Structure 1
């Protein structure tokens, strides 16, 4: 097909404008294509890591170091593409926490890295309670029972009144603090009791709460702590006495 070249100055100006418009459109389309490819690749990395983490959380530390490195590389790649994505930062925090617990990384360094990524996630998405709960768990793993830990717990509690992950954090921590007679229990005791009740009512956390009660052989204590809760909640606890028997026990 022959190209019609401009014959006059006016035609030349029109030709140049059309040519520039086509180039701009082509460049914009190319940029959009690159962005779409990066987004697709990052999404693929995210789901790949999420599946590996879910498997680890279900099976404990049975995942291999190769799978750990694969997950770490994938989520770091996703963050390189979208560094301001809060979920990716949170997921990398989970990966580092996994590395610390499984012995694939230096424990203290990995926990510090996990904390840094969780904090980055809270900056990007401050209203997500599970990330605050994860930060409190990191402080527990670091054995740092201080005001910073209480702040993380308070954020998780305030932002996630119905979150099963927050129920479980409080029940796990409260049971451990009670068993070790730790003074921090006094700071969270009321919320700890509330979260036991909420965790039992929530079908997503009930089995794990009951498992923790069994692990700590705390059925009688929990019955006593929840004596003002509805009978429907108390009856979920094995060997929980009736209110009449409980009243005798408390005398």
Structure 2
């Protein structure tokens, strides 16, 4: 009986062996398919990031060219830049404050030279403002975007609570950044009649910071002051802070 039992047990083990081999093979196939799926997902993710990077570069190149020339883009160039900025956002795996800010700048440039409150420029300016708002939801401490919100409100001639808040945030978050002070001084002079006393003082502080940075910065702001009839305020800010204005002829008259 023992011998028969041993033979039967051996037979059962031999029959079970192929089944175990099939199970192991199925596991190996499953793992291989999982690895292939993960590799595919990584490839797709990498490809999306690469395409987003190319779109970033394309949109930024247009912005750089427009900024250097200080002219509005032609319709075709603007459309290409806007599509690239939108594509970079759509390809990003998460909300990206920098890309949203870039989209806002593309919209801001579309009618950059048009008059304040121009009806035909309102749509692009509101689109810029929407993009800047979305950007600030992702990175609320970025002063450059706050300054762009204030600029957009200036172009729309909307001197409301959002405008005031944007000025305050940009001023508080970028005290040592020359680009912020330059932007705020420019906005302040252009919006001067609509500013509160505190906002005017903040504008003049941005003027002093910009002038102290370099003579070219001082000359650029002087040009803005002339254009906006704010030369008296400009020169007074320099005198009050004892910043030399010897190289600025308008302040010697």
TM-score, normalized by the shorter chain, greater than 0.5: yes
Measure, in 1, the Cα distance between the counterparts of 2:233 and 2:201.
Answer: 14
Residue 209 of structure 2: aligned partner: 198
Residue 236 of structure 2: aligned partner: 224
Confirm whether residue 157 of structure 1 aligns to residue 171 of structure 2: yes
Decide which of 132, 135, 139 is 2:146's aligned counterpart: 132
TM-score (norm 1): 0.82
Cα deviation, residue 27, structure 1:
0.9
- Mapping 1:46-195, distance limit 5 Å: 46-61=56-71, 63-82=73-92, 84-101=95-112, 106-178=120-192, 182-195=193-206
Residue 31 of structure 1: aligned partner: 41
Cα deviations by residue, 1:91-115 (Å, 9 ceiling, x for unpaired): 1111111223367x94111111111
Once the two structures are overlaid, the 10-residue window that deviates more, 106-115 or 65-74, is 106-115
Unaligned runs of 5+ in 1: 1-5, 242-248
Residue 42 of structure 1: aligned partner: 52
Native 8 Å contact 1:200 1:210 kept in 2: no
Cα deviation, residue 89, structure 1:
0.8
Native 8 Å contact 1:167 1:205 kept in 2: no
TM-score (norm 2): 0.81
Measure, in 2, the Cα distance between the counterparts of 1:171 and 1:236.
Answer: 19
Q: 1:189 to 1:220 in 2, by over 3 A?
A: closer
Cα deviation, residue 146, structure 1:
1.6
Residue 3 of structure 2: aligned partner: none
Measure, in 1, the Cα distance between the counterparts of 2:133 and 2:194.
Answer: 26
Partner SS for 2:239: coil
Measure, in 1, the Cα distance between the counterparts of 2:55 and 2:152.
Answer: 24
Unaligned runs of 5+ in 2: 1-15
Native 8 Å contact 2:207 2:237 kept in 1: no
Work out which of the two has the higher radius of gyration on C-alpha atoms and give 1 or 2. Answer: 2
Cα deviation, residue 221, structure 1:
4.0
Partner SS for 1:226: helix
Cα deviations by residue, 1:188-236 (Å, 9 ceiling, x for unpaired): 11111110111122348455324324545655542322323244x4445
Task: Count residues with an aligned counterpart.
Answer: 232
Could you say what the CA RMSD is over the residues aligned between the two structures, in angstroms? 2.6
Native 8 Å contact 1:79 1:85 kept in 2: yes
- Mapping 1:203-214, distance limit 5 Å: 203=214, 205-214=217-226
